[in-house]
Structure 1
Amino acid sequence: MLRTMAWYVQSFVGHGDPINEIRTQPLKPSLIVSASKDESVRLWNVHIGICILIFAGAGGHRNEDFHPSDIYRIASCGMDNTVKIWSTKEFCTYVEKSFTWTDLPSEFPTKYVQFPVFLASIHSNYVDCNRWLGDFILSKSVDNEIVLWEPKMKEQSPGEGTADILQKYPVPNCDSWFIKFSCDFHYNSAAIGNREGKIFVWELQSSPPVLIARLSHAQSKSPNRQTATSFDGSTFLCCCEDGTIWHWDAVPTN
């Protein structure tokens, strides 16, 4: 008999609409960021239960990601067709204060951040997934592809800059909204599904792009909404619109 135990710790109240993504700060796991349809991204201290910062944004946010080495940078994307880069550097005193806060969480002086430090219109439609790849960004819309690009910010002019597209990873029949990709820990590969239930695995460290695998099964025909990749990139999970979860393992070749 399977026995399960669960403990309620705390809940975080603040968003006014569905929450679409949560990410943990890799260098400070007490910090998480959440993206919501309520047009905000929020930075939380989960150990204290405090909302530290609220980042504004036109249209609902669908995804966000912490920079892998710069603890101050966050990239978000959403329904306004853009990818935004936010900085917490100017507000680091609020982050530090959250770790020593002893009053009620509701009394914390949460700071509202109105403007990003960079904004890019890489796509012409909703953007539902983005990930940092070093200082580059991977992002996806409904254009049947993942785009790798480099944000070039103007240090003296926050919010301004250019974006150079480096390469694209085609994904046939991936023109549906809300299909998210995943990467392994070292960002050697990216796995993404499509509306026909197939999975495409691209190598990220090569140029031009190399398709590592095309995964399919006769019974997997429903749109794939999200994938998960193991630490070493040898196992892939995908969840589909019909309620199924598919498991794929890489088979070593001689």
Structure 2
Amino acid sequence: MGIANEESHPNNIYGISFNHFIARSCGEDVFATCGDKTLTVYECHSDGSFHACISYSDPDEVFYSCDWSYCSTTGNPWLIAAGKKGRIRVIDTMVGQAVQTFISHGGAINDLKINQNNAHMLLTASKDSSIRLWNLTTFTLVAIFAGIEGHRDEVVSVSFHQSLPYFVSSGIDYAIKIWKLNTEQMIEAWNRSNVYISKFKHGCQFRTEHVHVPFFSTRDIHHNYVDCVEWFGDLIISRSCEEEIIIWKPCKNVQNQSIDLLAENIPQNDLCLNEDIDVMPLNVEPNSTRKNFKIIGRIPVEKSDVWYIRFAMDRMRDLLAIGNTEGAILLVDLKSMATNCELFKEVHIERMKIPPHQSVSSKYVRQIGFNYNGTSLVAVTDGSHVIKYDFNRI
């Protein structure tokens, strides 16, 4: 059974994020939650317990998402958070204060992600139908991904590829899109952002890159809002309000010819997430109705027919966990997939019940996060509950 904690506010908690940068350097498990007007940072102990050590509040905000970075000068941990007001807060958790607040989106920010290979590369996904790339070293808006072939409604989820210069996005328009980060224009924009000095110091505004056409796009995987999308190697895992998670691969054409994600060498630069790689061009129009994907497998998830319930995977992509509206957590062993990623073998499933709450609505498990070693998970719920569960690896 998990260890539960109730936060000081009675409202929903939408996000949870472990700080993998701290865990990588000193082995400590620290995580943050966001919900209502409050951000809370927790420390985990060797006996399985955890306690709140820092709390940050904004009375005018409702926080939807958070992630971790760090200051390149001091090394202090930074908690990045955003939500309903469209403001991005950068909070130094060593001092408990915001070191930067910036606004660019024209609506709420539904999701944000830090690149685990470059802690100063931030993506934000917004109600204004755009995704934006930020450089946290100079607090510069590097690129806007929106327009002609972009999302046509709210963008709800984004995810960096673990090793290649891509990210994937999904939204209310049922669309899932893959975007490239290693085009000549993007590399040049990122390099400029690294040396940019604020316009208040030299009077020149940064020239933000605009990307209108994604590398890949489909609206045929799901038939409802796509509220969570993640990379699984070169496959994609996505979830909608259809009581299932789908694992699939993007293809070049209707014959299901896979996209080759590795190709010619390119010059080394800090935007490229892996040295000496590039990507193959995709010969499919972004809005094509042809089936430019192949379904690899489906994971049924009972009692999950509402939106904004997000799954999570551990760092090694061995385990996947998702909650539902009844307070259950489904834990799936992804190692049981065939090595050629063409079909499922037996899938090991465990179900865990969180402690009973005061109302049925408070049982909605909104999001889950794994610690760095994959030995613990934390679930956050409606009704301000935080549940930590420690387990042996499958």
Asked if TM exceeds 0.5, the reply is yes
User: Are residues 1:24 and 2:114 paired?
Assistant: yes
Task: Report what 1:226 is aligned to.
Answer: 367
2:180 maps to which of 63, 80, 87: 87
Aligned equivalents of 1:32, 1:209: Cα separation in 2: 37
Aligned equivalents of 1:65, 1:174: Cα separation in 2: 21
User: Are residues 1:250 and 2:394 paired?
Assistant: no
Tell me the CA shift for residue 245 of structure 1.
1.1
Tell me the CA shift for residue 36 of structure 1.
0.9
User: Are residues 1:7 and 2:97 paired?
Assistant: yes
Mind listing any 5+ residue stretches in structure 1 that lack a counterpart? Answer: none
Residue-by-residue CA offset, 1:67-119 (whole Å, 9 max, x unaligned): 11112x11000000011001122221101111011242881101111111111
Task: Report what 1:214 is aligned to.
Answer: 351
Mind listing any 5+ residue stretches in structure 2 that lack a counterpart? Answer: 1-51, 55-94, 254-280, 337-343
1:33 maps to which of 123, 131, 138: 123
Aligned equivalents of 2:393, 2:305: Cα separation in 1: 32
Aligned equivalents of 1:15, 1:80: Cα separation in 2: 18
Task: Report what 1:184 is aligned to.
Answer: 314
1:116 maps to which of 214, 218, 221: 214
User: Are residues 1:138 and 2:138 paired?
Assistant: no
Residue-by-residue CA offset, 1:187-206 (whole Å, 9 max, x unaligned): 10111000111100111122
1:203 maps to which of 319, 329, 333: 333
Q: Secondary structure at the match of 1:205?
A: helix
The answer on whether the counterparts of 2:216 and 2:282 sit within 8 Å (CA) in structure 1 is no
Aligned equivalents of 1:119, 1:205: Cα separation in 2: 28
Aligned equivalents of 1:204, 1:148: Cα separation in 2: 11
The answer on whether the counterparts of 1:67 and 1:74 sit within 8 Å (CA) in structure 2 is yes
The answer on whether the counterparts of 1:198 and 1:216 sit within 8 Å (CA) in structure 2 is yes
| Backbone CA RMSD of aligned residues | 2.1
Residue-by-residue CA offset, 1:108-147 (whole Å, 9 max, x unaligned): 1011111111112210000000110111001000111111
Task: Report what 2:194 is aligned to.
Answer: 99
The answer on whether the counterparts of 1:168 and 1:209 sit within 8 Å (CA) in structure 2 is no
Q: Which has the higher mean CA deviation after the structures are superposed, 213-222 or 91-100?
A: 213-222
User: Are residues 1:129 and 2:228 paired?
Assistant: yes
Identity %: 30
Task: Report what 1:45 is aligned to.
Answer: 135
Amino acid at match of 1:202: V
2:283 maps to which of 148, 151, 157: 157
Aligned equivalents of 2:329, 2:122: Cα separation in 1: 29
Q: Secondary structure at the match of 2:101?
A: coil
User: Relative CO higher for 1 or 2, CA cutoff 8 Å, sep ≥ 6?
Assistant: 2
Aligned equivalents of 2:334, 2:190: Cα separation in 1: 33
Q: Secondary structure at the match of 1:131?
A: strand
- Aligned pair count reads 251
The answer on whether the counterparts of 2:380 and 2:387 sit within 8 Å (CA) in structure 1 is yes
